Copies of this chain bind each other. A is one copy, B any other.
Amino acid sequence: MKLSGYATKINTLRTTAIVGIKDESPTVKTYTLQDDLCSKAKPGQFLMLWIPGIDEIPLSILNGGNGQVQFSVKAVGDATRHLHDMQIGDLLGVRGPFGNSFTETRGRVLLVGGGTGTAPLLFLAKRLAAKIDRLSFVVGAKTRKELVFLEELDAMCTDESAIATTEDGSYGLHCLATEPLESLLDKQKFNMIYACGPERMVRKIFDIAEKRKLPMEASLERLMRCGIGLCGSCMIGKYRVCKDGPVFKMAQLSEIKNELGISKLGFDGSRIDI
């Protein structure tokens, strides 16, 4: 038996019925599936979700435990809209969990999430909560309707509540999620910044962290087909986001500076702007 049993097992497609659906916002829903392997995922890992007859897409894991796994999905196109139309009891296929995870740190941590990119950070925050001194959250979205997990985020934060920003000012600060950062970092010392969200947001945070010489970890998204480091669809620089990532550390982010927030591979392998 050449392929290690475990690798084969996590990559084997399991079909399982939806056991829970929760509306997080008009465009985002959280799904719960029964799946042993993914229920043991660590924050930052993702799964490949098969929507039978439609598509198979990568999704970050929002939570796992007791044989169940959750993920939140924003309806943006064909696959995600089909998913939003599905009901409890409908069958989905799942393989994974794939990829690496955030490293757990101590001390003071700052989490910056954009849109559904907040999901893996919320997962991380839950694991960190008991172990760290201070946890601050900044979350951004285009508009109030897309700001998700707000209550849960508030509950995670140490002192004041999570800082929310919207691009249209419909809730919280009227700006991008990156804007409150500089003043936050001026006021307080943080041992680690964790980021996940639109890549241009991640890039801005990276630039700030680099300037201030702060450690940072970011979870990235790329087009994914195989999810197991084989097909090359998800390359960023010399890294495969599905296997070497999706979480990258400061030094790695530096190495991929000329792509981060700038360009990615399209479905046909050509380079397209972000």
Q: What is A's interface to B at a CB cutoff of 8 Å?
A: 1, 5, 8
Q: What 4 pairs between A and B have smallest CB-CB spacing?
A: A1-B5, A1-B1, A1-B8, A5-B5
Give bound CA distance, A109 to B38, whole Å.
56
Give bound CA distance, A5 to B6, whole Å.
13
Nearest-CB distance from A91 to chain B (Å)? 23
At the interface, is chain A mostly helix, strand, loop or mixed?
helix
| Copies of the chain in the assembly | 2
Q: Which residue of B lies closest to A12 (CB)?
A: B1
Q: Which residue of B lies closest to A3 (CB)?
A: B1
Nearest-CB distance from A114 to chain B (Å)? 40
Nearest-CB distance from A10 to chain B (Å)? 13
List B contacts of A8 (CB < 8 A): 1
Give bound CA distance, A19 to B211, whole Å.
66
Q: Which residue of B lies closest to A5 (CB)?
A: B1
Give bound CA distance, A229 to B1, whole Å.
21
Nearest-CB distance from A2 to chain B (Å)? 10
Give bound CA distance, A8 to B1, whole Å.
8
Give bound CA distance, A1 to B1, whole Å.
8
Nearest-CB distance from A53 to chain B (Å)? 27
Give bound CA distance, A5 to B5, whole Å.
9
Give bound CA distance, A61 to B1, whole Å.
26
Nearest-CB distance from A236 to chain B (Å)? 33
A-B contact pairs, 4 of them (CB 8 A): A1-B1, A1-B5, A1-B8, A5-B5
Q: Which residue of B lies closest to A8 (CB)?
A: B1
List B contacts of A5 (CB < 8 A): 1, 5
Give bound CA distance, A5 to B1, whole Å.
7
Nearest-CB distance from A181 to chain B (Å)? 48
Give bound CA distance, A1 to B6, whole Å.
10
